[in-house]
Amino acid sequence: MSDQEKRVVGDNDVVSLEYTLTVDGEVVDSSEGHGPIEYIQGKGQIIPGLEKEVYGMAVGESKEVVVSPAEGYGEENPEAFVEVPKSEFPPEIPLEVGTPLQLRDQQGQVFDATIAEVKENTVLLNFNHPLAGKTLTFQIKVVGVRPATQEELDHGHVHHH
């Protein structure tokens, strides 16, 4: 076994992680299509319930992690639902349940929403994160660990050389 293989994940390590995310029995995201994620451990760059489980894992190790909504994308906030008159939507937007929308406020800030319900004259928009209130099941595998460089720590993100 090489030194690299014996290294386990700790704070300020750059971790490469393969993952499959399953919600309600359906795969909703996976690194298979786009490669492993890389992040700096201990900086809150991935959801807390997942990050804490990666501590102490070695390269090549895999496990299943079940993350509660509170440690994932949060509980669904009932106040994050807003009813909007249908007349305010441009005609090209399909008013169907599940349609994702991006809305811009007067300051230019962009908000993601999903159509939760279509009523007779109004549309109910859900501004919660689509995974809010969901229990997340991750199948993860650590495929790389190395100490972050000082520059990466200063910048707060991983550099690819």
Q: Is residue 75 a contact partner of residue 57, using CB atoms and an 8 Å limit?
A: no
Binding mask 101-140 for Zn ion (x = CB under 5 A): ----------------------------------------
Q: How far is the CB of 157 from Zn ion (least distance, A)?
A: 6
What distance in Å separates the CA atoms of residue 5 and residue 60, rounded to the nearest whole number? 7
Q: Stretches 3-11, 35-43, 115-123, 150-158: which one binds Zn ion (CB under 5 A)?
A: 150-158
Q: How far is the CB of 153 from Zn ion (least distance, A)?
A: 10
Q: How far is the CB of 10 from Zn ion (least distance, A)?
A: 21
Alpha-helical segments (H) within the chain: 3-6, 48-54, 150-155
The residue sitting closest to Zn ion, measured at its beta carbon, is 155
What distance in Å separates the CA atoms of residue 16 and residue 4, rounded to the nearest whole number? 13
Q: Stretches 15-23, 110-118, 124-132, 152-160: which one binds Zn ion (CB under 5 A)?
A: 152-160
- Tell how strand 136-147 and strand 13-23 pair up: antiparallel
Q: Stretches 45-53, 78-86, 95-103, 153-161: which one binds Zn ion (CB under 5 A)?
A: 153-161
Residue 96 phi, psi dihedral angles, 5° rounding:
-130, 145
Residue with tokens 């993350």: 67
What distance in Å separates the CA atoms of residue 161 and residue 12, rounded to the nearest whole number? 18
Q: How far is the CB of 40 from Zn ion (least distance, A)?
A: 11
What distance in Å separates the CA atoms of residue 19 and residue 63, rounded to the nearest whole number? 10
Which residue lies nearer to Zn ion by CB, 63 or 155? 155
Which residue lies nearer to Zn ion by CB, 52 or 155? 155
Which of 155, 158, 160, 161 contacts Zn ion by CB under 5 A?
Answer: 155
Binding site for Zn ion (CB under 5 A): 155
